[in-house]
Amino acid sequence: MGKNKRSKAYYIQSAKRQKKLESVLGQEMTGFLCTCNDNERDCVREAYNILNEFADQLYGKEEFADEQQQETSNGKDLKHIDLEKTDKTKEEGDAEHDDSETKQENEVKTDSGDPPENQKSLGPAIDNAGDSDEEESLDIEAAVKANVLELQKKNEEKHKHQRRFQQVQCGAKNCVFIRTTLKDPVPLSVAIMDDIIQNQKQRTKRLLRMIPVQKTCKAFADDIVKAVEKLSKSYFENESKTFYINIRIRNNTSLQRESLTTSFIKIIQDANSDNTPELNTPEVVLNIDVIKNVCYLGFIPEYLTKYAKYNLVALANKKKEENLTEAKTCKDMVGKDDTDHSEEQDLKTEKTLQDTLNINYSIPCVKMECKEPEISSDDDRWSQQLIAIDDIRRRYS
């Protein structure tokens, strides 16, 4: 055992290869494109928690195949095959032993001089027996191969078993793609955001946006146009809507935004002639994110209106912001009313003053005739002055 045992490094490298194969981003994938701020590990953890919670509510709990049961069943199948092989080899050995005994008996008879009975007729029978043994051996080999292929398929399915949500490297900083086995990720994201709006509870700290992706393709203009054609035909088949096109390109310089937008508008209008572009309040947004050599596509409802660009943190504080804006508007209105009231009061006071002035101006001026006292002589003047001085002394003494 010690000689045939593999080293620990072999198993570590095989696990890394398997993980790398599982984390390769390919085409025709659905999932969620998540953005964060410098903490991708925490972002992935929060995304797993919130996605698994609401997916269990909508679609039920995720079912796992018990690995031990699979291993035991595979071991039983292998043991069964080995037993069949041993039984069949025993049967073949017994048949060969019987054939050798008959040959020895015939040889003994020929040596003793007795002619072998029906020697000519036994020849073709022996040939037929050899052919039947060959056919049986071929059937056995075919059955063994079929069983081995079945076991290989089961093992491949076990190794290729995908979780409902699995992180995939997308090749851009602060961007994480989580693939899913769900056909359409939009209902799940809508349920998450409706719950956040209703309860006004912040569910994530590092995870900022979680945009559903309905399809992935290569980041070439022809491939993107073909993917948008397929999605638009299936999406606008029954009803028409107002739409808006949102394109973001990261780590890629081979695509031109203007040419893509014109081609996408034409495709969407060809899918349904009643579709009209809208810039302010569109019903649906065609969201296109290009990261390196992969394009993420999806038709997202109420992207600019209700769900605040699918920002989970902003949705949790949406009502608070609305209340603040309402309070500011009310304050502004009250201040405006006060200023209007003060202006009215100033006008009233000015009017009253003007009226009073007009009244005073209208009063006729009456001339009062003041007669000076007649003084006859100087003695009288001095006497009057002395009297006035005495009065003053009396008052202030």
Q: Write out pLDDT tens, residues 270-293.
A: 999 999 999 999 999 999 999 999
Report d(CA 276, CA 239) in Å as an integer. 12
Q: Looking at residue 191, what is its pLDDT? A: 95
Which pLDDT tens digit goes with each residue over 109-153? 444 444 444 444 445 455 555 566 666 777 887 887 787 777 666
* Chain position carrying tokens 């002055």: 385
Going along 108-208, which residue ranges are E strands?
165-168, 175-180
Strand, coil or helix: what is 141? helix
Q: Looking at residue 139, what is its pLDDT? A: 80
Residue of higher predicted confidence among 165 and 136: 165
User: Which of 143, 330, 316, 299 has the alpha carbon at shortest distance from 213?
Assistant: 299
Per-position DSSP letters for 288-325, written without gaps between them: EEEETTEEEEEEEETTTTTSGGGBHHHHHTHHHHHHHH
Interval 306-324 mean pLDDT: 82
Q: Looking at residue 131, what is its pLDDT? A: 60
Cβ(295)–Cβ(216) under 8 Å? Answer: yes
Q: Looking at residue 68, what is its pLDDT? A: 42
Report d(CA 217, CA 295) in Å as an integer. 5
In this predicted structure, the answer to whether residue 340 has a pLDDT above a threshold of 70 is no
Interval 61-72 mean pLDDT: 57
pLDDT confidence bin for 8, thresholds 50/70/90: confident
pLDDT confidence bin for 347, thresholds 50/70/90: low
In this predicted structure, the answer to whether residue 254 has a pLDDT above a threshold of 80 is yes
pTM: 0.57
Mean pLDDT of the chain: 75
The encoded tokens of residue 281 equal: 């309040």
**Which residues are within 8 A (CB) of 211 and not within 5 positions of it... i.e. 6 or more apart?**
32, 33, 34, 189, 287, 289, 296, 298, 300, 310
The encoded tokens of residue 206 equal: 């590092």
Q: Looking at residue 150, what is its pLDDT? A: 75
Percentage of the residues of the chain whose pLDDT score is greater than 70: 59
Q: Looking at residue 267, what is its pLDDT? A: 94
Residue of higher predicted confidence among 348 and 147: 147
Radius of gyration of the chain from its Cα atoms, rounded to whole angstroms: 50
Q: Looking at residue 120, what is its pLDDT? A: 46
